[in-house]
Every structure is written in structure tokens, then in C-alpha cells.
Structure 1
Amino acid sequence: MSDLAVEIKALIIESLNLEDLTPADIDTDAPLFVDGLGLDSIDALELGVALQKRYGLSLSAESEETRKHFGSVASLAAFVAANRSK
């Protein structure tokens, strides 16, 4: 597992106050929404803001591409690696 994936898992836990989870508890390839972690749209907004602050990303909530990036930790890590400015 990449350091970036672990970092993103920690960011998810921190930004969404999921204190009962550790990065190891989050499956890198599992869906973040519905199944998997079961996050909702409010969680997506909070996570998006955290990613923008941490990595200087530009995200569009309306974009279908953004929804794909939020599919799993693995897809988020790939997006961050390709687009971060910090």
C-alpha cells in the first residue's frame, strides 16, 4: 500500500471524525460510499474540502469525474498523485 493511500485514509478518519477506525481498517479498493465505508454526501463535501486544503486540489462537486475519483481510496490516491499542487 502506498504512503499516499495511508495518508488519505488518515485524512478520511480525521476529517470525518471516524475515531473508531484506523487506516488499516479501511480497504484501499473498497467503495467509500454506500457499501464499504458507507459515507454520504455530507461526508463527500467534508472530505473534498480536506483534500483541497491538504493537497491544493481543485474539485468540482458537479463533475462525474470527481465522483469517479471518490470511488475508493485507491482512486483518490491516483487522483491526488496526478493533481496535487502542495
Structure 2
Amino acid sequence: MDALKQELKESLVEQLNLEDITPAEIGDDDMLFGDGLGLDSIDALELIVMLDKTYGIKLTDPKQGRAIFESINTMSAYIAEHRTK
């Protein structure tokens, strides 16, 4: 699970072009949206595409995405349970 969390942090920084932050600075429980990393709705769309391409997970319900993308911990738990790749 730790390897998946590290992979997610690196993917976030790379995919979302987070120039002012390194993967090591992202805590497992840090909020990704709002007061946390400050991600926005465009970032959420990119995360949905990343889940599909990288892990074979298709999200169709925006409310579901809100819960999944809460933190690195919530993302990694969901991916570990639902990945097809």
C-alpha cells in the first residue's frame, strides 16, 4: 500500500503540474481539494482520466469522486479494492 501511495503522490505532482510541491510534501491524510492542496474541478477531471488509464477504474458518479479524492489514503484504498490493471 505504501508503494501505491508514493506512486499516487508522484502522479499528482506530474499529472497536475504541481510545480511548488514535491511528492514528499504531500501527507497521506492531506485534503486534496479546498484548504489542502487546493486542487480544483479541472484537476478532478484529470484525476478521473488518470484512474481510468492507469488503474482501469471508470468513475461515472461525481459524488463518488468527491469521496475518493479526499486524500491519498482514500484514493489508495479505493484503487487497491477496484483496480483492473
Fold shared per TM-score above 0.5: yes
Letter in structure 1 aligned against 2:59: L
Q: How far 1:4 moved relative to its partner? A: 0.5
Structure 2, unmatched stretches of 5+, are none
Count of aligned residue pairs for this structure pair:
85
Give the TM-score, by structure 1 length: 0.90
% identity of equivalent residues: 51
TM-score, length-scaled by structure 2: 0.91
Pairwise CA distance, 1:5: 0.6
CA contact 2:48–2:58 (8 Å) conserved in 1: no
Correspondence 1:4-83 to 2 at 5 A: 4-60=4-60, 62-83=61-82
Give ranges in structure 1 of 5+ residues lacking alignment: none
Residue of structure 2 equivalent to 1:3: 3
Which sits farther off after the overlay, 68-77 or 11-20? Answer: 11-20
